[in-house]
Every structure is written in C-alpha cells, then in structure tokens.
C-alpha cells in the first residue's frame, strides 16, 4: 500500500500537488522548528564524562546551537566498542543541559526505557536501527516529549514517513524527521546523504525535516559542505557531532568537529540560510 492510498494523520499530498506547509513543532520553550528559523542540534556522539560534555555544551551554545545532543546509549555495530554510560550518562546530560540552559536530545532504544529517558531529556531520538521498532514507536507516541525520528539506513522515504505515522497515531504530534544517510554501493563515505529525501519528505508530509551531515558523510572535512547543501535543499535544521578532542573520542571521532570547526560551520550555514530566506 502506498502512502497516498493509506489512512494517515500526516499532511500527505500527491506528487503533483504543492507541498504542504510545514507544521511548527515546539521542541522546548522558545525553541520551535518548522518556521523560517533553522534549529541546530550539536554535541558529542557519546557522553564520556562531565568535563568534556560541559565544555562542548558551552562551546556549541556560544556558536548558536539551540539543542544539546549527546548519546547515553550507543547501539554500536560491534559489541566490543563503547556502548555508552547508560543511566549515568542520562544524569550527566540532564545536569549539563540545565547548567548551560539548552534543551537536550538523546536516543532511546527500548520501549521499556522511554519513561526513564524522558525524565532526563527534552527530546527523544529514535535512531536509525530503531526506525522499524514498532513497540518503541508506539511508546514514544504515547509520551509527552517531542520525537526526532532518524531514517533507517536501509529504509525508503515512504517507510520512514510511515514510521512517523506510527508515532502520530498514538497521539504525539511533535515529530521531526532526520535524514542521516543511507547505505549504497559507494564506500567513499560512511553513508550516502540523501538530499533528495529532504525535498521529497517535505513534499509528502508537513513534518519538519533536519539533516545529519556527520553520519551522512563520516568524515569531519565533509560535514561543512554537506550541511550547506542540506540547508540549501530545504532542511529545517541540522544535527552535528562536536567533540573537544576528536582523536580521543570514544565514538565517531572521525566525523566529529572541534568546537572551532563547529563555530566556522555555523558562520557558513548562516550565509546559506540567508540565501534561502531563513535564519539560524
């Protein structure tokens, strides 16, 4: 069954019709995505300790980020790599986010952990591996937190959008889509950032869409051009990995920006945003 044939809550339209107007989603008091102002999420891939998280939080806020990201649970490909601090990481995220005055987003991996994560984070992230986890989608759909839904790296745009429908069908209307790259035959980058999907998702739905240039490329030197391209194609925001010492990062150091590089990215993104009548 195609999206256009199914019963939906999202503002779907036919390919020939004009795109629906993006619905604004309040992520936290004073932070709304889906309008002319872009929202940037930034922080470390994984929460490692309080000192590093606090340093990054202060740096990204000073550069203009509106949401602090940080992973307490890290579903890694290998079970022998760093898997995150778990509940201890959640507590650090909550304390640091409150200290610097930023709302926080972090991943929740199981429907049984939604209440726990929601007590520590302002926004719940569904990671790429969990996009098809229906019990988890239903659980966050019954929660009072906004949801950042990442596209599965082997999912079609229609499957991604219908995963959002699972959340909406349980009563949670505050959903933001995230294009984070898909797996293709090309091995030059970690994934292939599908910028077509950003424009197509905007044409198919009224949900805000952001881009993850960090996972989408896997290379720190490619994050900036990918971020600029995402804004140019119509993304409502970005989610970027930042670490004070990427070479020492316990997760995804190759794609993490230094605080100075993130500052430079924000300057470049503002210029592109202005060209498409938006602000950061």
Dist. CA 70–CA 83, nearest whole Å:
13
pLDDT tens-place string over residues 67-83: 999 999 988 788 888 88
Average pLDDT on 186-208 reads: 96
- Structure tokens belonging to residue 85: 């601090």
**Among 197, 73, 66, residue whose Cα is nearest residue 124:** 73
**Among 237, 206, 175, residue whose Cα is nearest residue 41:** 237
Average pLDDT on 147-162 reads: 97
pLDDT at 13: 44
Average pLDDT on 6-20 reads: 56
Confidence check: pLDDT of 18 > 70: no
User: Architecture of 3-13+26-275 per CATH?
Assistant: Alpha-Beta Barrel (3.20)
> Domain extents for the chain?
3-13+26-275
pLDDT band at residue 14, thresholds of 50, 70 and 90? very low
pLDDT at 151: 98
Instruction: Measure the CA angle with vertex 33, ends 39 and 235; round to 5°.
Output: 65
pLDDT tens-place string over residues 257-277: 999 999 999 999 999 999 999
Dist. CA 211–CA 41, nearest whole Å:
10
């Amino acid at each position: 069954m195609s999206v256009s044939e199914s019963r939906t809550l999202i503002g779907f339209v036919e390919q020939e019709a004009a795109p629906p107007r993006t619905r604004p989603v309040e992520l936290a008091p004073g932070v709304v995505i889906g309008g002319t102002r872009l929202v940037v999420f930034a922080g470390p891939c994984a929460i490692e300790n309080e000192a590093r998280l606090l340093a990054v939080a202060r740096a990204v806020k000073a550069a203009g980020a509106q949401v602090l990201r940080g992973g307490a649970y890290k579903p890694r490909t290998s079970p022998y790599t760093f898997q995150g601090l778990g509940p201890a990481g959640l507590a650090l995220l909550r304390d640091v986010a409150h200290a610097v005055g930023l709302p926080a987003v972090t991943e929740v991996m199981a429907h049984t952990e939604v209440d726990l994560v929601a007590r520590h984070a302002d926004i719940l992230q569904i990671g790429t591996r969990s996009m098809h986890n229906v019990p988890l989608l239903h659980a966050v759909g019954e929660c009072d937190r906004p949801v950042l839904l990442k596209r599965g790296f082997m999912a079609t745009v229609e499957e991604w959008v219908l995963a959002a429908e699972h959340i909406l069908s349980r009563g949670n209307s505050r959903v933001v889509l995230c294009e984070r790259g898909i797996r293709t035959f090309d091995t030059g980058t970690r994934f292939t950032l599908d910028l077509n999907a950003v424009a197509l998702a905007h044409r198919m739905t009224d949900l805000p869409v952001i881009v993850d240039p960090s996972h989408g490329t896997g290379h720190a030197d490619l994050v900036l051009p990918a971020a600029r391209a995402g804004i140019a194609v119509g993304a409502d925001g970005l989610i970027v990995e930042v670490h004070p010492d990427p070479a020492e990062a316990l997760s995804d150091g190759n794609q993490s920006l230094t605080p100075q590089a993130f500052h430079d990215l924000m300057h470049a993104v503002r210029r592109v945003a202005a060209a498409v009548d938006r602000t950061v």
